[in-house]
């Protein structure tokens, strides 16, 4: 299948080393774009400056290339929709906030900083934010707001419309979220940092992204993003949320699985074909657990081959990958 107007992307956060779970998502997103004859975009989501480090930025580029994943547009190769680094796109986010504010869709929130710490970086599901926001500051009077502002600078929250959201997910199938899922959400923190939810919407629209293939941990963030696309008068992409790769403990592979970082595997002398082959075998993309180059998977790739449930790898799989 060829879709000349297909524009996919991979948007990592340079806050740590890329691990096998990240690499699997990147590989599937890349294969989806390449198998459709589309354009693949790399974007660095470094909006939360204190968490992001330049050496991780460089390492991600090295790791992706080592795996055989390339891109048509990105921070190092440029393209017509740059810059491809969020920290260089702040003016776009400010403009979006002004548009939302002009429509009366934002309100100041004076709740504790502890509640808001994680909102700028890509969340691993809304559950990572804690309980749904109860709307504490939504109906404050002007006087109450002035009083609170004397004590604390506010964040800005988006007024979530009181209606359900339904969409067809390319990997997870039909989705429906009840009204108010997660509650009104932060689009700008009290310290001025714009949230992941707003930045990703503005960027995907500005870069003409048509298809987003990402991990299932972001599935429940999609209604928020769809509401923002609508409020800003922007076209939303199609979404496909692929189940996560989990360790023997049943938890998603993450930075805590240090031995499974791509850098660690490279330093142990593991070949990229071994990593790609191991990922492909447990992801339904190759019928044998043997080394294979990423480009060799393009011709036979179909998103529907990817398992519908989280993939749990065992110690033997990890040992085979790491040579342990």
Measured distance CA(88)–CA(95) in Å, rounded: 14
DSSP per-residue string spanning 38-86: -EEEE-B---SGGG--HHHHHHHHHHHHHHT---SBBTTTB-TT---BG
Asked whether the beta carbons of 69 and 27 are under 8 A apart, the reply is yes
> Which of these, 83, 32, 22, 46, lies nearest to 238 by C-alpha position?
32
| Helix 196-206, helix 222-231: angle, nearest 10 | 60
Report the catalytic residues.
Answer: 255
Phi, psi of 205 (to 5 degrees): -70, -45
Measured distance CA(301)–CA(284) in Å, rounded: 9
DSSP per-residue string spanning 240-279: EEEPPEE-TTSSBP-TT-GGGBHHHHHHTT--HHHHHHHH
Asked whether the beta carbons of 194 and 187 are under 8 A apart, the reply is yes
Residue 174, H or E segment: strand 173-177
| Helix 272-282, helix 20-35: angle, nearest 10 | 80
Asked whether the beta carbons of 16 and 56 are under 8 A apart, the reply is yes
Task: Indicate left, alpha or beta for 270 from its phi (over 0: left) and psi (-120 to 50: alpha).
Answer: beta
> Which of these, 257, 258, 290, 261, lies nearest to 274 by C-alpha position?
290
């Amino acid at each position: 299948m060829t879709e000349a107007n297909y524009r996919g992307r991979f948007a990592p956060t340079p806050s740590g080393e890329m691990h096998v779970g990240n690499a699997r998502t990147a590989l599937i997103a890349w294969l989806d774009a390449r198998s459709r004859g589309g354009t693949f975009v790399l974007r660095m989501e470094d909006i939360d400056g204190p968490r992001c480090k330049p050496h991780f930025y460089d390492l991600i580029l090295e790791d992706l290339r080592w795996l055989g994943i390339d891109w048509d547009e990105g921070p190092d190769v440029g393209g017509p929709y740059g810059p491809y680094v969020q920290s260089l796109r702040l003016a776009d986010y400010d403009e979006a906030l002004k548009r939302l504010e002009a429509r009366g869709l934002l309100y100041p929130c004076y709740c504790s900083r502890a509640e808001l710490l994680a909102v700028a970086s890509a969340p691993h599901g809304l559950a990572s934010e804690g309980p749904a926001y109860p709307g504490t500051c939504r109906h404050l009077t002007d006087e109450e707001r002035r009083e609170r502002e004397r004590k604390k600078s506010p964040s800005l929250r988006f007024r979530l419309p009181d209606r359900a959201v339904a969409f067809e997910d390319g990997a997870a199938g039909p989705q429906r979220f009840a009204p108010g899922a997660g509650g009104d959400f932060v689009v700008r923190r009290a310290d001025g940092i714009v949230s992941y939810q707003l930045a990703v919407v503005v960027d995907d629209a500005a870069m003409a992204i048509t298809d987003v293939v990402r991990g299932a941990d972001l599935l429940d963030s999609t209604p928020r993003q769809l509401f923002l696309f609508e409020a800003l008068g922007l076209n939303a992409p199609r979404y496909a949320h692929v189940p996560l790769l989990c360790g023997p403990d049943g938890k998603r592979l993450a930075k805590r699985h240090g031995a499974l970082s791509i850098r660690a595997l490279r330093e142990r002398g593991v070949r990229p074909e071994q990593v790609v082959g191991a990922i492909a075998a447990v992801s339904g993309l190759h019928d044998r657990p043997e080394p294979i180059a990423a480009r060799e998977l393009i011709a036979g790739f179909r998103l529907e081959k990817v398992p519908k449930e989280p993939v749990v790898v065992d110690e033997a799989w990890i040992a085979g990958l790491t040579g342990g």
